[in-house]
Amino acid sequence: MMLKVQIKSIVVGLLLISFTACKNGKSDTKTDADNEVTISVKKENFLSGGLVEPISIVSKELSDGSTADCYKIVVTSTPTDHDMGPWCPDNIADDASAGGIWLEDGKVYDVDGAFVKNLGTFYDDETWMMYNSETGKITKTSTKEECNDAANPNVGEEYQNFCVECLPSYVTDITHTYYIPVTPKKAKTPYPFSNGPAGGPPPGDGPDDGHERPGPPPGGPEGNSTTPSDRGLAFNGVVFNAPAPTDDILAAYTLAPFDDAGGHINLHAGYHYHAATGVSKKIEQTDNHSAMIGYAFDGYGIFENSDKEGNEYTDLDDSRGHYDETRGYHYHVDKAGNNNFIDGLRGEYAL
């Protein structure tokens, strides 16, 4: 009899130890009221070289009025995992290595010398003439002042037929502060982005990104004028920006190429991405799923466009997201040629 009591005591003790261990163990995976897996943000995924200070946790108000722990992420907007540029080639004889890329009608084009030479044919407009017909030298901005004057919505006629190239040396002192919920919180209604470079202020106290921000898009949740224009952060700390205002750029007969990583510079935002081209840090998945490249500003993961076999996902919602039990809800970026990342936020974001 005494032996049975001792065995029972041992079993109960082991169960208590096991329960305590599970209770105290930390996990990045949670289950919500709908019995869906929610994956918390992993701050260690961000490259330390792109941070101004260590990532910390602060309490912030979310878009639904609630309060939550958020990661405070202060970045330099300077990638440490790849070079920036080039953007504009010097001469119409230059090959693709001398220039960046241009995004048009869903396609990615190399901005080599021939592309610049043939802009008039490409856009069926003889006004385009961005080079010296005798020397082949391409006309482009060459100073910080010219960058400032040419890279704005109200560019003057004096910059007509300029290739706009803003250099990293112009923005060495820029920092941005962003806030991302530690654990994503699904919103009752998605927050759609408008179809252009618009939206509310960045989700932080950093500088504005240099794009005009009109009111909220029609049909969105009431009071969503604060929906951020920026979509999220790459692991190197560079922001996934709203679509570049290419119509305005072209209307001024200017060209503002992106580098091969899909980024370029303005004096307000610093270096920022407009397309995901597979250059920045990515986290490969153990299954056939596409690689992870960053986080949206609601804390949900952002993944590449296509799976490992090159197939695009066909079950995405209006925000370009879907759910699986391994990654929880997450997004897949648009094709690079569409000058776009995701189409809305499915979760609540920090104000």
Angle among Cα 53, 55, 56 to the nearest 5 degrees reads: 115
- If asked whether residues 134 and 193 sit together in one domain, one would say no
Q: On the CB side of 133, how many CA atoms lie within 13 Å of its CA?
A: 2
- If asked whether residues 289 and 315 sit together in one domain, one would say yes
Distance CA 107, CA 91 (A): 23
- If asked whether residues 179 and 197 sit together in one domain, one would say yes
Considering the domain boundaries, does residue 305 fall inside one? yes
Name 263's bridge partners: 273
Domain final position from 213, 229, 262: 262
CB-based contacts of 297, cutoff 8 Å, min separation 6:
178, 180, 203, 228, 230, 231, 232, 233, 345, 349, 350
Distance CA 199, CA 229 (A): 4
Considering the domain boundaries, does residue 17 fall inside one? no
- If asked whether residues 253 and 162 sit together in one domain, one would say yes
Whole-model pTM: value is 0.85
Distance CA 193, CA 224 (A): 10
- If asked whether residues 122 and 257 sit together in one domain, one would say yes
What residue ranges of the chain have pLDDT lower than 70?
Answer: 1-27, 30-33, 195-225
Considering the domain boundaries, does residue 255 fall inside one? yes
The helix (run of H) or strand (run of E) holding residue 189 is: strand 186-192
- If asked whether residues 152 and 276 sit together in one domain, one would say no
- Give the closest residue to 299 by CA, choosing from 25, 36, 43: 43
- If asked whether residues 49 and 131 sit together in one domain, one would say no
- If asked whether residues 194 and 279 sit together in one domain, one would say yes
Q: Are 265 and 84 in contact (CB under 8 A)?
A: yes
Whole domain around residue 118: which residue ranges?
96-168+247-262
Q: Are 130 and 163 in contact (CB under 8 A)?
A: yes
State the CB neighbour count (10 A cutoff) for residue 26: 5
The total domain count for the chain is: 2
